Amino acid sequence: MDLKVTRVLPRLTWLALAAAVGTVSLGWALPSVAHAEPKAGGTLTAFTSGYRSLNPAVQSGSATGMPGSQIFAGLVQVADNYEIKPYLAKAWVVSDDQLTVTFTLMDAARFHDGVPITSEDVKFSLETTAANHPFGKAMFGAVTGVDTPDASTVVFHLAKPVPGLLLSLQPLLMPIIPKHIYGDGEELKKHPRNMENVVGSGPFKVEENNPAERLVLVRNDDFFIEGRPYLDRIVFPVVKDPLTRVLMLEKGEIDLAPFSGIRPNDAERLESADGVKITTEGYGAIGYIHYLELNLRDKPFSDRKVREALAHAIDTSFLAKVIFGGRTVPGTGPLHTGNPFYSADVPSYAPDMEQAAALLDEAGYPVGANGERFAFTLDVPSWAMQAHVPMAEYIQAKLATLNIKVHLRRAPDFGTWVKRIANWDYEATMNGSFNYPDPTIGVHRHFACDNIRNVIWSNTEAYCDPAMDEMLSSAAVETDFAKRKAIYADIQRKAVEDLVFIDMPQDFTATVYSEKVGNRPNTPFGALAPWHEVYLTD
């Protein structure tokens, strides 16, 4: 494919600066580690720990996003260095005032059922995602309208500049879904076609979907990129037990395990296995951070002095070294250290048990006649247990030395934990979330006053400060990178000063893979991007 297109992107995004203007070849290779000349064919075995939906338009997270980005295409894809490249959109033009973006779609692209993909499907997909995705409002709240002058042209109208818009138009965050299927009036989040007879627009089609056992995707022979994908089939067996996963990886029964959930000692074990490789690359855009979330509505955690006491009591450097084996670093605020807007200029709360005790006394929580200052329940999610459980047990033991009694409540399943947190029926919980490279997508949701909702991974802790809201609003529309970074430095500083969360170590997120896997997903979004360039050497 040697087609040339012109893309004009005058300062719309701080990403893709190298591709902002000029002539760009529609080269479809995902920059990654290749062994030799790619070859077609073969079945790649990955894994899933479980999923509730295959439609990324209504469900966030890696469990849906990993297979979903194979089943559905997006307007663009994100390559190395956050360069925005064509996908279903072969070209786009931004108006001088940055309030209109016009996309031209690929010729002859079709859904898996053979129906042509048109501008009406793009409009429907954006409106659907905006209304149903957990980040829909943050990503597309500034879109005031979508025009479809012809089948291959779609025009987005914006109320204000949106620096991170293009990042939101990849399949992980805005998959192009068929209007002729999902536009039947059924509730999108509960639509049966999110799991049954799924029809997508991406490089792979669903052949078998048994959520209790496995998901099987097969090559889409009618994919709009000629000669792709390379693989014939991707199999995702359901493997919930981390130890079973490690054993399968050792035996070569899993070829590619992104978001592997392995512990540091598992990593040491697998690094010595024949033909097995481990990498922490491919997560740059994810920025997975851990934190202790406190319900700020009621005492004791509505009192900042109590939160500061906890911050002084919890030694995150110790956790990074012991629980994560020194393979990660302590978190310092709401942004991951790999985020382009990260700032280290934030307050720090050094481990100091005497200071913690004094703050609790000042806050009116002395040791009572029963030998306790107060007690609370700490919820422990059923996901990422290799991190959450030991961190929760450490917090329980550490706070006991301050005469705070912590009851651990382990969720039996994901749904139970989600219901408790989303309904604000909790006192404290271990938690974690993806940053995403543009903070409007992954960070604003936790701090905006208008995002205090009964939705998981929103502002469930009920933090609200008009000064923070003003900074968030300014950062959302600032198109100058340096100015925007300065605003986010202020946001990080304030979040840590206010102790919205108690920061835990950043996650040790690793991909385990067989050395026979070529073009391993290695861009900033890694395995949450399309795998149409992945191949097997034998």
Instruction: Examine the pLDDT at 384 and tell me if it is beyond 90.
Output: no
Average pLDDT for 170-176: 97
Instruction: Examine the pLDDT at 28 and tell me if it is beyond 60.
Output: no
Q: What is the mean pLDDT of the chain?
A: 91
Answer for the pair 503, 52: CB distance below 8 angstroms, yes or no: no
Instruction: Examine the pLDDT at 21 and tell me if it is beyond 60.
Output: no
Average pLDDT for 475-480: 92
Answer for the pair 504, 391: CB distance below 8 angstroms, yes or no: yes
Tell me if the pTM is above 0.95: no
In this prediction, residue 391 has a pLDDT band, given cuts at 50, 70 and 90, of: very high
Least confident of 18-22, 243-247, 365-369, 468-472: 18-22
Q: What is the pLDDT of residue 36?
A: 66
Instruction: Examine the pLDDT at 135 and tell me if it is beyond 80.
Output: yes
Q: What is the pLDDT of residue 18?
A: 30
Sort 299 into a burial class: Cβ within 10 Å, 0-12 / 13-18 / 19+.
exposed
Q: What is the pLDDT of residue 19?
A: 32
Q: Please give the residue that has the higher pLDDT: either 296 or 49.
A: 296
Task: Report d(CA 251, CA 262) in Å as an integer.
Answer: 15
Q: DSSP letters along 242-300, please? A: HHHHHHHHHTT--SEETT----HHHHHHHHTSTTEEEE--S-TTT-EEEEEEE-TTSTT
Grouping H, G, I as helix, E, B as strand and the rest as coil, residue 497 is: helix
Answer for the pair 52, 63: CB distance below 8 angstroms, yes or no: yes
Instruction: Examine the pLDDT at 4 and tell me if it is beyond 90.
Output: no
- 216 contact partners, CB below 8 Å, separation of at least 6: 206, 207, 208, 209, 233, 234, 235, 236
Average pLDDT for 56-60: 93
Answer for the pair 146, 124: CB distance below 8 angstroms, yes or no: no
Answer for the pair 458, 451: CB distance below 8 angstroms, yes or no: yes
**Ranges of each domain in the chain:** 288-506
Q: For residue range 436-469, what is the model confidence (pLDDT) as tens digits?
A: 889 998 999 999 999 999 988 999 999 999 999 9
In this prediction, residue 337 has a pLDDT band, given cuts at 50, 70 and 90, of: very high
Q: DSSP letters along 33-73, please? A: ---SS-----EEE--BS--S-S-TTT--SHHHHHHHHHHS-
Instruction: Examine the pLDDT at 9 and tell me if it is beyond 80.
Output: no
Average pLDDT for 298-305: 98
DSSP H or E segment with residue 496: helix 481-498
Average pLDDT for 328-344: 94
Sign of the dihedral defined by the CA atoms of residues 332, 333, 335, 339, in that order: negative
Q: For residue range 69-79, what is the model confidence (pLDDT) as tens digits?
A: 999 999 999 99
CATH fold of 288-506 reads Dipeptide-binding Protein; domain 3 (3.10.105)
